[in-house]
Structure 1
Amino acid sequence: MSTVNPAAGSDSAYAQYAFPSTGKSKNDGMGQADFLRLMTEQMKNQDPLNPLKGNEFLGQLAQFSTVQGIENMQQAMSAMASVMENDQSLRAASLVGRDALVEVDKVTLAEGAGANGEIVATRAGPVQLEVVGAGGQVVRRIGLEAAGSGPVQFAWDGKDGDGNALPAGTYSFRAASASGDASEALGVRMAARIDSVSIEPTGLVLNLAGLGSMPLSSVRRIG
């Protein structure tokens, strides 16, 4: 009869036993039935003069229970992640076709196409919006009035100051308060249609008309 030396550690004890193949790959982990069978063989073949102590037996059971608990938790987390991803996909689909307000000051437009958005005013008073072409020239100036601090809506029809439709290209927007002699640069937010939504490892990415791909975190409002 072969003997088992508990002092040699559970790993060396388990290595003395080989079981018939069950058809599983070598990478498969040991299941509960395999573990109990191994423990039974260990007890049957232990040295009667130096039997496995109760605390060692309980320690091996505890180790197996811990590993099995971690595996179960991983499976539960994977299932939860799958449910959250599916829910995120459904929410993303509902955004397509709506308008998003994004903190950018540049947009690519087709010929004669306009744009709209808002200026973030810091106080009441007149505000001036400038539309700048790709070459750096100001093609349109629009005067607005802020009732107080907060957003001021604007709309540009895609034409220059003489009413001529401007060619396709990339246009920048800059705004400033114009009260008194002081001038303060103001933030600009552009509105764009959500053409599609991508689910990336970092989260939702909105594909916006004229603006390209933007993370959901850059969106300030969805209309």
Structure 2
Amino acid sequence: MAVSNVQSAYDKLNAKSGVQTANEAGAADRFLKLLVAQMQNQDPLSPMDNAQVTSQMAQIQSVTGIENLNKTVQGLSGQFMQMQALQGTQLIGRDVIVPGNKLLIENGKAEAGFELNTAADSVKVEVLGPSGHVLDTLNLGAQSAGAHEFTWNAGTNATATGVTFRVTAMSGSTKLDTTPLMHDTVSAINTSGDSLTLELKNFGNVAYNQVKAFN
């Protein structure tokens, strides 16, 4: 029984969907039994190659080690999720700033913001009604790179709903990338799946890692 035959038997024992992810402890035990049987029945005039045996032993140890590492990582991931959930509960009832272009009008005004990757010569914010028509335009002038906030006085639109905004930033004749930022309040957290989600009071859900700031 050659070493290559032992390897072939070991591969068959482990192969499931093309990946060696079966019960590693059981596979290792069966592999060692095959190896011992080979040694007991080897030809005394043609003994096994020590280098090949060492290689096979190293492989089974490597596979088992990877499996143990995966279990450790999964455990750490679970602990990290629990820590995130604990932090998330502290945000319930707090105001947060997250990516989005919706405006919530309260006491006749709405607050929102935007983020620039690079400085802009001019920034324009257009407030849009539910049908997409422009309700108002705010010319904010030159702005540096980073996050900025603005306040819109709603006036006669104080009771309007479904209001959004659009940011246009220019550097010379070049239009710059912008990220709109909206304000909302965290009403609950959701830990289902493999990520933490914040449930917002007015504008749906957002991933915890999307929060830019909170008040």
Question: Normalized against structure 1, the TM-score is what?
Answer: 0.61
SS of equivalent to 1:170: coil
Would the alpha carbon gap of residues 50 and 155 (structure 1) be closer, same or farther in structure 2, given more than 3 Å must change? Answer: same
Identity between Structure 1 and Structure 2 (%): 25
**Which amino acid in the other structure matches residue 2 of structure 2?**
P
Structure 1 residue 105 displacement after superposition = 3.0
For residue 67 of structure 1, what is the aligned residue in structure 2?
63
SS of equivalent to 1:43: helix
**Which amino acid in the other structure matches residue 151 of structure 1?**
H
For residue 190 of structure 1, what is the aligned residue in structure 2?
182
2:146 is the counterpart of 1:154:
no
Structure 1 residue 99 displacement after superposition = 0.7
RMSD over aligned CA atoms reads 4.4
Query: What does 1:25-44 correspond to in 2, within 5 Å?
Result: 28-29=23-24, 30=26, 32-44=28-40
Structure 1 residue 108 displacement after superposition = 6.0
Structure 1 residue 193 displacement after superposition = 0.6
Match of 1:89 among 82, 85, 94: 85
Match of 2:46 among 39, 44, 50: 50
Would the alpha carbon gap of residues 131 and 33 (structure 1) be closer, same or farther in structure 2, given more than 3 Å must change? Answer: closer
- The CA distance in 2 between the partners of 1:198 and 1:145, in whole Å, is 37
- The CA distance in 1 between the partners of 2:189 and 2:164, in whole Å, is 25
SS of equivalent to 2:81: helix
- The CA distance in 2 between the partners of 1:58 and 1:87, in whole Å, is 43
SS of equivalent to 1:192: strand
**Which amino acid in the other structure matches residue 166 of structure 1?**
T
Would the alpha carbon gap of residues 113 and 205 (structure 1) be closer, same or farther in structure 2, given more than 3 Å must change? Answer: farther
Question: Which ranges of structure 1 fall in alignment gaps of 5 or more residues?
Answer: 16-26, 178-185
- The CA distance in 2 between the partners of 1:41 and 1:73, in whole Å, is 30
- The CA distance in 2 between the partners of 1:14 and 1:136, in whole Å, is 65
Asked if the contact 2:111–2:149 (Cα under 8 Å) also holds between the matched residues in 1, the reply is no
Asked if the contact 1:6–1:13 (Cα under 8 Å) also holds between the matched residues in 2, the reply is no
Structure 1 residue 219 displacement after superposition = 3.5
Higher helix content, 1 or 2:
2
Q: Pick the structure with greater CA Rg.
A: 1
Asked if the contact 1:92–1:197 (Cα under 8 Å) also holds between the matched residues in 2, the reply is yes
Asked if the contact 2:6–2:35 (Cα under 8 Å) also holds between the matched residues in 1, the reply is no
Question: Normalized against structure 2, the TM-score is what?
Answer: 0.62
Question: Which ranges of structure 2 fall in alignment gaps of 5 or more residues?
Answer: 12-21, 170-177
Query: What does 1:181-220 correspond to in 2, within 5 Å?
Result: 189-199=181-191, 203-216=195-208, 218-220=210-212
